[in-house]
Amino acid sequence: MSIIATTKPAEDSGQRNSRHGDPVPARRKGRRVEPIFYLFLLPSLALFTLAITVPGVIGIFFSFTDSIGIGDWDFVGLTNYIAIFSDPAILQSYLFTFGFSTVTVVAVNVVAFLLAVGLTSRIRMKSALRTIFVIPMVVSGIIIAYVFNFLFSNSLPTLGSAAGIPWLEASLLANPDLAWVAIVLVTAWQAVPGSLLIYIAGLVAVPGDVYEAADLDGAGKVQQLLKITLPLVAGYVVINVILGFKGFLNAYDIIVGLTNGGPGTSTRSIAMTVIAGFNGGDYAYQMANATIFFVVAILISLVQLSLTRGRSAL
């Protein structure tokens, strides 16, 4: 005897819901967006367009001219862009900016991570210490720069003379080979709190059971730090590195307050070079420089998207 199994043919558009008996549509329609949402979006879009997009497009247009910012102008094509790649002052500003940004990112993240580990451990007065370490973040960068300018120019040389330390007797800010070190120190001093808060958030989110299991397995504190903590907060490390690098590329106020780009042009950043050119009548030339810098920032943003796509914070 044979048994013949029969199956009920599936209906394409008239399938019945097993619970309610209602037909299930073959394709779900997209939700209709209420017009009121566009109304709320319109003011922000208009302000962004008028304040950023339109001036940016105008600036890119004038980068292909010989304009000085006012008066008549003529098209010069790619002349400004070609001249930039052979301008030693421009190349020096790019070299300094990228070198400074790289060193500062490393310093900030190492210090912020170690502080975060300490401030999330079992120590007393954690809340008070966190508040103290966050204070530099809320102080204006130009104020911080002028305060440290006085320290580097007066206090440290006096201390160096009294202690008989030759390299401290002169201001670091006047030394073309060491001025960048002072800028890194001051910038890191202000930037550490922001990265610190992100790392604290990441470390607090790590389950305590993981460390308890590691203790039972005999793992020491250094092993737990390297084999457990760092891998689990890798997403936060990526976020801090990318945000820090993008922020330091636009360094301006602290450098102005400390060295004003000196000695000579040894610590002049890209932003300082562009603004100095605007004030000096080199509008079109520095607009081409700003356009190149904009493209670099876009490339960094694309790297950021590729690194963070599909990666959760923890």
243-271 pLDDT, tens digit per residue, is 898 889 989 999 999 999 988 889 999 99
pLDDT band at 311 (very low <50, low <70, confident <90, very high): low
* Residue 132: burial class (beta carbons within 10 Å; 0-12, 13-18, 19+): exposed
Average pLDDT over the chain, rounded to whole?
84
pLDDT band at 62 (very low <50, low <70, confident <90, very high): very high
Residue 302 CB contacts under 8 Å (≥ 6 apart), including other chains: none
The dihedral formed by the CA atoms of 173, 176, 180 and 186, expressed in degrees to the nearest 10: 0
The pTM of the full predicted model, rounded to 2 decimals, is 0.79
**What is the domain partition of the chain in residue ranges?**
90-203+231-267
Which DSSP symbol is given to 8?
P
Residue 188 is predicted with a pLDDT of 94
Residue 308 is predicted with a pLDDT of 65
Residue 10 is predicted with a pLDDT of 46
What are the angstrom distances between the C-alpha of 120 and each of 124, 129, 206, 240, 312? 10, 11, 11, 18, 21
d(CA 179, CA 172): 5
218-243 pLDDT, tens digit per residue, is 888 888 888 888 888 888 988 898 88
274-309 pLDDT, tens digit per residue, is 998 888 788 999 999 999 999 988 888 788 778 766
Which DSSP symbol is given to 195?
H
CATH of 90-203+231-267, one of 3.50.40.10, 3.40.50.300, 3.30.300.30, 1.10.3720.10: 1.10.3720.10
Decide if pLDDT at 7 tops 80. no
What are the angstrom distances between the C-alpha of 194 and each of 122, 138, 169, 204, 239? 22, 10, 33, 16, 11
Decide if pLDDT at 6 tops 90. no
